[in-house]
Structure 1
Amino acid sequence: MLPCPTAARVDAIDPFHAMALFRRADALAAEGRPIIQMSVGEPDFTAPPAVVEALNRAVAEGRTRYTSYSGITPLREAISAHYRRVHGLDVPPSRILVTAGASGALQLACALLVGVGDEVLMPDPTYPCNRHFVSAFDGTTRLIPAGSDKRFQLDGDDVRAHWGPRTRGVMLASPSNPTGTTIAPEALQRVLDAVRERRGFLVFDEIYNQLTYGGPTPRSALALGDDVIVINSFSKYFCMTGWRLGWLVLPEALVPLAEKLAMNLFICPPATAQYAALGCFEPESLAIYEQRRQAFAQRRDYVVPALRAMGFDIPTEPDGAFYVYADVSRWGLSGEVFANRLLDEAGVCVVPGMDFGVHERDRWVRFTYATGMERLQEAMQRIASFTAALR
């Protein structure tokens, strides 16, 4: 029995079912089982030397006090320069709020935009925490089935068909978690056109934007207009997951409102992480990040054909992030059963599709190739033996 009543919003937030698998994998590893993780969306790379040096300088100089609720000016300026260098866009620092991770940015965006009973459209499948941020602010999410024929993304027709009287906006991610697919620029433009027709908002998650393969970095959605709200992070491309640092780009008119929320909800982003992040934009760091991006591309180019050769149906080639969304229905097992058996019998941990939506979720599992090539090669051998025994 709970010691006191809890808020109704708690019941609206589903547990992250994959955590049960993570815990079991950790328990098996603690018992001495050689477990290979292909489940956690975290780069095996860590912060490059210039970032660590910037951190050490900040600590030595006592830069550990509260900063501005919007983030330190040099970092906001560095992010602005980053948009100019990578995307050819003029995004003034005044539109950029540094946050406690992309999660902090999403919380601010939802606190700013989502009211009680308001509805936000998202593709199914989608990253579960995104819809739970909406629920945390007493909104609801309408998941729209998005199949491989649409690269698991939405288009303008989806928005128009599903927009209801309580709908306030759309939240998308490109590249996407769990599918690793990007949205085509023309499809994104049609989504934005449909949103603008209804005077809604578009929140666009770009935390994997620079982790794309087979072509140039997709241009930021900010290129489509100053009304687009963009989330980004130092966690994925910049390999700083535990540093808890991200940013939010807003229309100028919304910045004072978001700052009011930020100063009350978070006080400020982590101070030492902000000073350290300045090292991300040093030339030597940028060269390292490009090498790492190429390493992720090589891993993808190894894992996807290997899985297909075993019989996994991967209908859409992932072109970003570090995920492969694979259909396991040919073996007559749900994704949950497949993932649990793979862990128990082969010692490889993956994520079942049940966490990412409701549409055909039992068909899918998500593989992560955010680990070294030797580990991936061993994992492919284990998975091949496991699937061969299922036939």
Structure 2
Amino acid sequence: MQDVDAKARSTGSQRDSDLEARRKMERSFEAISPFEFRHELIKLARGHQRKSAKAMLDAGRGNPNWVAAAPREAFFALGQFAMQECRRVWDDGDLAGMPRRPGIRDRFQEFVSENPGLPGIDVLAEVVNEGERKYGFAPDEWLHELVDGIVGDNYPTPDRMLTRTERVVAHFLAKEICAGGVHPDDLRLFAVEGATAAMCYIFDSLLANGLIERGGRVAIMVPIFPPYVEIPELDRYAFDVVEIRATGRDAQGRHTWQYPPEEIAKLADPSVQALFLVNPSNPPSVALDRDTVAQLVRTVREQNPNLMIISDDVYGTFVDGYRSLMADLPYNTMLVYSLSKFFGVTGWRLGAIALHRENVFDARLRRLPKSEQEKLCKRYGTVSRNPEALSFIDRMVADSRQVALNHTAGLSTPQQVQMAIMCAFTMTERGERYKQLTKEICHRRMGLLYDGLGLPLPNLPHDADYYTEIDLEHWSVNTFGEAFTQYMLDRYEPIDILFRLAEESGIVLMNGGGFHGPKWSIRISLANLDDEAYAEIGHHLKAALQEYVDAWRNETQDTVSKHDAE
């Protein structure tokens, strides 16, 4: 009997030692970005794939597995017409000329008539016609901008954004992102290489123009896309970050992912110079509700009127009736939008920064001390004869090319043309149907995931369902009780379940704590895998949690048995 007890103690000691070694290894990953941590999980999942011959399921990244086909076909149809126009001017085999404006609209109409079956030609014709009817563009000027742009034979002119393309994208943002709350003619846009480039340009220009000094105080609404927190922590900025936490819960104690009044109240402090948010949020994928927006608007207008708000609205099209903060606080808000998710164009790098023509950023520039303004005049003196009058959005353009290369700034013109076609397409009847399809995909996959989990679908008003964030601690308390939950928290690291899923099931998810969400939460992208994968993910996630429960029950039973034996 003593030998059996000694063996049991030895086995238990080895198990504890192995567990502590694993916990130490897992803790070493907690400081790195969740996107870098994901690479480690992918290695484990590929190992499982090789052993089991089952496909890896990577629900970690937000790249959608659909593409907007119709506007792409229109883009390629435009390319064919554009090359026909180039060869019309100069055709020397592999060499052609630059397209010319006079008569181009009539020639396009002939091209449409002669190519009725060309994929995308009907959408392209509708985009061209809408530019003339809806926006009043002169036919030859509009079509030549598209043709010359897709050929890419000139520097972007104006460098901030092509003139008519800017108007099309402004109408898209005003309608689809701002719900008609701003007039498109009041928006000034800077076309950029996706929202990631927008972030780099914004942070750099805020610092370069003294709108936020190194060490200045900023607020960030969390959970959030991690770089919004990681960039301010860089030594170059060293911002003093105030987190505005989405700790709201409903009457049953479930997350609403909204911001309680006491959190929004943090913005009343005038020392908070800027607010960064992703709306709808990433990863909860829930838009601000009207009560939160109303309090935020009151707080800014009454207590912190000089607050600069940077709102990343990339997921706005996935929420019915979405309305950006730009619509309610146009003076204070800089809108950032990327076409990557809605149109499935992450590889194209398409995005825009939008500011109202009357905005707090320009107002704050005018209020800078004279010495600071003189320094900035020297910085931008090569760009303008009146650098003191240069708007903040135009300063961002210059800063994006180290000022000295401002004359070659701007997003490539083929990218801008694709952006114009996609935005114009969305505002047609076919575009409305496309938008509804993308919403249905996300909602359907959310249902399949929760079916696999064996849980009721969360009732989350204003949800995009592009991602979901699951709080495992809250789930555990409500499903298995406080005793088991405390055991899980004491024995394991929050990312342990991600390692288990990768090693045992070939499933890659992301840790919600890395997005400054609840420590024991996980983030699942609902956009990048086939529908059936989400039921499988739910099933394996439930099974992984059951492993913790079984271990707890076994240890509890061992303790009881040992007590009875004594």
Class of the TM-score when normalised by the shorter of the 2 chains: 0.7 to 0.9
Quote the Cα distance in structure 1 between the aligned partners of 2:410 and 2:43: 33
Quote the Cα distance in structure 2 between the aligned partners of 1:162 and 1:57: 48
1:102 to 182, 191, 195: 195
Asked if the contact 1:351–1:366 (Cα under 8 Å) also holds between the matched residues in 2, the reply is yes
In structure 2, the CA distance between the partners of 1:351 and 1:65, relative to structure 1 (3 Å rule), is farther
Matched residue type, 2:442: F
1:8 counterpart residue number: none
Matched residue type, 2:78: R
Q: Deviations over 1:28-69 (max 9, x none)?
A: 437635210111111111242322441563584522543133
In structure 2, the CA distance between the partners of 1:109 and 1:92, relative to structure 1 (3 Å rule), is farther
2:434 counterpart residue number: 288
In structure 2, the CA distance between the partners of 1:56 and 1:131, relative to structure 1 (3 Å rule), is farther
2:216 counterpart residue number: 118
User: Is the partner of 2:218 in helix, strand or coil?
Assistant: strand
User: 1:71 and 2:92 equivalent?
Assistant: no
2:548 counterpart residue number: 390
Quote the Cα distance in structure 1 between the aligned partners of 2:325 and 2:531: 32
Matched residue type, 2:466: F
Quote the Cα distance in structure 2 between the aligned partners of 1:51 and 1:302: 30
In structure 2, the CA distance between the partners of 1:96 and 1:252, relative to structure 1 (3 Å rule), is same
The Cα of 1:256 is off from its aligned counterpart by: 2.0
User: 1:303 and 2:449 equivalent?
Assistant: yes
Q: Provide the aligned length of Structure 1 versus Structure 2.
A: 371
Matched residue type, 2:395: K
TM-score, with structure 1 as normaliser: 0.84
In structure 2, the CA distance between the partners of 1:90 and 1:164, relative to structure 1 (3 Å rule), is closer
1:327 counterpart residue number: 471
In structure 2, the CA distance between the partners of 1:154 and 1:106, relative to structure 1 (3 Å rule), is farther
Quote the Cα distance in structure 2 between the aligned partners of 1:57 and 1:128: 38
- For structure 1, which runs of at least 5 residues remain unmatched after alignment? 1-13
Matched residue type, 1:223: A
Quote the Cα distance in structure 2 between the aligned partners of 1:292 and 1:316: 18
Q: Deviations over 1:257-313 (max 9, x none)?
A: 221222331521233221112221223444323212212121122223433539xx9
Report 1:189-204 matches (<5 A): 189-196=294-301, 197-198=303-304, 199-204=306-311
Report 1:78-97 matches (<5 A): 78-86=168-176, 87-88=179-180, 89-92=182-185, 94-97=187-190
User: Is the partner of 1:367 in helix, strand or coil?
Assistant: strand
Asked if the contact 1:77–1:93 (Cα under 8 Å) also holds between the matched residues in 2, the reply is no
2:62 counterpart residue number: 41
Asked if the contact 1:159–1:195 (Cα under 8 Å) also holds between the matched residues in 2, the reply is no
Matched residue type, 1:338: I
1:206 counterpart residue number: 313
Quote the Cα distance in structure 1 between the aligned partners of 2:151 and 2:349: 20
User: 1:271 and 2:417 equivalent?
Assistant: no
User: 1:226 and 2:247 equivalent?
Assistant: no
Quote the Cα distance in structure 1 between the aligned partners of 2:345 and 2:197: 15
- For structure 2, which runs of at least 5 residues remain unmatched after alignment? 1-30, 84-149, 250-254, 363-389, 402-408, 477-484, 550-566
User: 1:21 and 2:27 equivalent?
Assistant: no
Asked if the contact 1:352–1:364 (Cα under 8 Å) also holds between the matched residues in 2, the reply is yes
> Greater relative contact order (Cα 8 A, min sep 6): structure 1 or 2?
1
The Cα of 1:23 is off from its aligned counterpart by: 4.2
Quote the Cα distance in structure 2 between the aligned partners of 1:117 and 1:337: 35
The Cα of 1:172 is off from its aligned counterpart by: 2.0
2:394 to 259, 263, 266: 259
Matched residue type, 2:467: Y
User: Is the partner of 2:190 in helix, strand or coil?
Assistant: strand
Quote the Cα distance in structure 2 between the aligned partners of 1:225 and 1:107: 23
Q: Deviations over 1:59-106 (max 9, x none)?
A: 845225431332222321112222454422412265222222112223
Q: Deviations over 1:243-266 (max 9, x none)?
A: 111111213254822212223315
In structure 2, the CA distance between the partners of 1:288 and 1:317, relative to structure 1 (3 Å rule), is closer
In structure 2, the CA distance between the partners of 1:98 and 1:355, relative to structure 1 (3 Å rule), is same
Let me know the Cα RMSD of the aligned residues.
2.9
Q: How many percent of aligned residue pairs carry the same amino acid?
A: 16
Quote the Cα distance in structure 2 between the aligned partners of 1:135 and 1:124: 15
Quote the Cα distance in structure 1 between the aligned partners of 2:69 and 2:521: 35
The Cα of 1:318 is off from its aligned counterpart by: 7.4
In structure 2, the CA distance between the partners of 1:269 and 1:132, relative to structure 1 (3 Å rule), is farther
Quote the Cα distance in structure 2 between the aligned partners of 1:217 and 1:335: 36
